[in-house]
Amino acid sequence: MSDAKFHEFQGYQIPVDLMLLTGGGPDTFDTISRAHIANLERHVGLSPSHRVLEIGCGIGRDAIPLTRILSAERGGGYVGIDVIKRSIDWCKASIEPRNPHFCFLHMDIRDKLHNPSGVVDATSARLEVADQSVDRIILQSVFTHMLRPEFEHYLREFRRVMKPDGLIYATVFIYDDAILASARKTNLTPYDLRFEHEAGPGCVINNLDYPTGAVAYTREVIDSMVARAGLRHAKEPLKGAWSGFHPVADDGQDVLILKRAA
């Protein structure tokens, strides 16, 4: 890997130290970004007129390519939210001036890994987004770091802000005994995802010292949380490659595609 302090990406010079906070550096940033956008277009669709909300936007890995898709003239726009203030400050200074229909917001939520001094509890955080104003909600590797109270809170907030025909694309870790056995045998990720510690019924964590470092749920628990929030699956969850269990995978992690319940 280069020792460069910046990485050029679609006309932006992105600080590598901030890029590394997203879980990937310059060697994977472009590839992951392309895969994210391709999966969004394939599985939930992206229109120039869409209003998009991204939770955990980081340094703009998805936001930057979305500037080429979402059109201010067509009524499209984007709100990106993250707990890492330095990343949001960079996005506001670098992306917003070129794209006035894009907005980045810092939420000072306590997070042991990324924002330990935060003053807001995740279970009481309210998204600064109007009711029924969002067409697509994106979460890449966000629910994979949430325990059940936070997970359910955000699902309820998403139902509040999404339009009646809106869709959510959210990556998760879904497990059962066979999936865990495969993950422990293949160990395909750099994070040693073994999920050996129970954190409640149908919920396992990877590291006792950092409980939200990686969190997985059974399908039954996910279905329960989704229903309690007034949502439902728009299609069957996409299969993730992380465990090595599925012969054909749709994404690196499993994916929930959700909509409002009838």
Domains of the chain: 6-173+218-260 (3.40.50.150)
CA distance 19 to 6: 9
Q: Which two tokens stand for residue 166?
A: 């809106």
3-state secondary structure of 139: strand
CA distance 85 to 88: 5
* Other Cβ atoms within 10 Å of 124 Cβ, number: 8
User: Running DSSP on this structure, what letter comes out for residue 61?
Assistant: T
Instruction: Per residue of the chain (262 residues), give pLDDT as tens.
Output: 457 899 999 999 999 999 998 878 899 999 999 999 999 999 999 999 999 999 999 999 999 999 999 999 999 999 999 999 999 999 999 999 999 999 999 998 888 777 888 888 889 899 999 999 999 999 999 999 999 999 999 999 999 999 999 999 999 999 999 999 999 999 999 999 999 999 999 999 999 999 999 999 999 999 999 999 999 999 999 999 999 999 999 999 999 999 999 8
CA distance 57 to 95: 12
Helix, strand, coil share of the chain (percent; to 5)? 30, 25, 40
Q: Which of 37, 13, 24 is nearest to 189 (CA)?
A: 24
Helix (H) or strand (E) holding 135: strand 134-139
Q: What are the counts of helices (DSSP H) followed by strands (DSSP E) for the chain?
A: 7, 12
SS3 readout for 173-242:
CECCHHHHHHHHHHCCCCCCCCCCEEEECCEEECCCCCCCCCEEECHHHHHHHHHHCCEEECCCCECECC
Alpha helices, H only, the chain: 16-19, 26-43, 63-66, 85-94, 148-161, 177-186, 219-228
Predicted confidence at residue 117, as pLDDT, reads 82
Predicted confidence at residue 17, as pLDDT, reads 93
Residue 2, CA atoms < 13 Å, CB-side half-sphere: 10
CA distance 243 to 220: 18
Residue 100 and residue 54 in contact, taking contact as beta carbons nearer than 8 Å:
no
